Amino acid sequence: MTISTEAHQPFPFSSAVGSLIEATDAIKNFRAIALLALTFIGAVLVGGVLTMIAGSIGSMLLTFLGGLMAFLVMFYGSNAVGILLMRDAQGQPGLSLVDAVLVSLVTSHRLIAVVFLEFLIVLAAMIAIAIILFVCKIPVLGPVLYTVVFPLSAIVLGVLVFALFYVMLPLAGPAAWSGASVFQIIARLNLIVRTKLVSVILLEVLLFLITSFVALLIFGVLGTGVSLTSGMSAGILGLGGQMNMYSLASGLSGGSGYIIAAGLGGGLLMAAAAVVPGLIFTKGVCIIYLNATRNVDFSASEASLNDGLATVKKKAEEARERARALAEQATAPAAPAAPAAAPACPNCKAPVASDDAFCGECAHKLK
């Protein structure tokens, strides 16, 4: 994604609201729909098959492996869908399903690293506040200090948690799908939190309402259709009271061929209906990210982050060198004692023996 070098401009909230409606166009992206459906099917098949095998042989390790494989299929498949929808939101040419999956396999680890770093930031803030709270246990001075520490800690933790769950985590995916590196993602999200936190949260609330309305509409239509079709099927196929929601849900475990077929078809129908709100939400967060980063120069924020990381790295290297030097000093063998100097005549400095009474050169009396 190209970083604009234009001056920072106010967040175009009204235009962002209008463009957010375009998130409903995600249902027109048939590649994204197919890929998300294949992702769901693949995760269920991989996890289900391994879990069934693990249950038959009683292996907890294989059960864990099945859950892990299902998670990886969902993770990389969902990110591939996000890449397709991000390119759609950017107006770029689409990718094939295979290319989207390959790009996801190469870049999705950035999202894991970003989430890990974000939780480390929150954890570091909580540790720092815990240390300050321990300082507040000092008699007399502690309650006075706590009067200031308590509201400040509440503000810091509240802002961090809101920034984490309403900006960092939702927008980390679109940032990664746009091609940003790990540190670019951190720098960009940090600037968004400092300058556009309220606007982004409002847009996310609006996106949630849009997604919920579409989901209610879709499932309302399907619910009406399922009810009418079930009633007609009961009369025409002679199923009587078998065509109800419980029978359809339990059709795979027994019942006539019609009930099993209805259960399979209804399950696929509901799964396909659940895909649509997911696509709308994914494209919506892509649009929010693009609006939040439009006409914003991130070079200063990225340079500041790089400088801070360089400083931390330099201090860590200095500490490591200092520790290595202390370790070498502690384990180094003691230096041998210097040999004693040979005795010499105090008058002419000529060498003499320890039992000589007079110097052999100048006859100076030694004893």
How wide is the angle at C-alpha 122 spanned by C-alphas 121 and 127, nearest 5°? 100
**Is residue 259 pLDDT above 80, yes or no?**
no
**Is residue 170 pLDDT above 50, yes or no?**
yes
Spatial separation of the C-alpha atoms in residues 38 and 74, rounded to whole Å: 10
Task: pLDDT band for 7, please (50, 70, 90 cuts).
Answer: very low
What's 367's DSSP letter? -
How far is residue 99 from each of residues 42, 85, 94, 267, measured CA to CA in Å? 18, 14, 10, 29
Name the token pair of 10.
């106010």
Name the token pair of 286.
């892509």
Spatial separation of the C-alpha atoms in residues 362 and 350, rounded to whole Å: 9
Residue-averaged pLDDT of the chain = 77
- Comparing 136-145, 220-229, 232-241, the range with the smallest average pLDDT is 232-241
- In the chain, which residue ranges form alpha helices assigned H by DSSP? 13-20, 30-57, 60-90, 97-107, 109-135, 141-163, 169-177, 182-236, 245-249, 257-293, 299-331
- Comparing 33-47, 198-212, 250-264, the range with the smallest average pLDDT is 250-264
**Is residue 346 pLDDT above 80, yes or no?**
no
Greatest alpha-carbon pair distance for the chain in Å reads 142
- Comparing 94-98, 194-198, 359-363, the range with the smallest average pLDDT is 359-363
**Is residue 323 pLDDT above 70, yes or no?**
no
Mean pLDDT of 300-315: 63
User: pLDDT tens digits for 60-71?
Assistant: 887 888 888 888
User: pLDDT tens digits for 77-122?
Assistant: 999 999 999 988 888 887 888 999 999 998 888 888 888 888 888 8
pLDDT at 79: 92
Nearest to 303 by CA among 184, 180, 146, 151: 184
pLDDT at 275: 83
- Percentage of the chain beyond pLDDT 90 is 5
Element (H, E) at 10: none
**pTM reported for the whole predicted model:** 0.66
C-alpha radius of gyration, the chain, whole number:
36
Is pLDDT larger for residue 81 or for residue 37? 81
Of these ranges, 185-194, 282-291, 341-350, the one predicted with the greatest mean pLDDT is 282-291
What residue has token string 């746009």? 178
pLDDT at 41: 80
Is pLDDT larger for residue 18 or for residue 177? 177
**Is residue 252 pLDDT above 50, yes or no?**
no
- Percentage of the chain beyond pLDDT 70 is 72
Spatial separation of the C-alpha atoms in residues 113 and 32, rounded to whole Å: 25
Spatial separation of the C-alpha atoms in residues 309 and 289, rounded to whole Å: 25
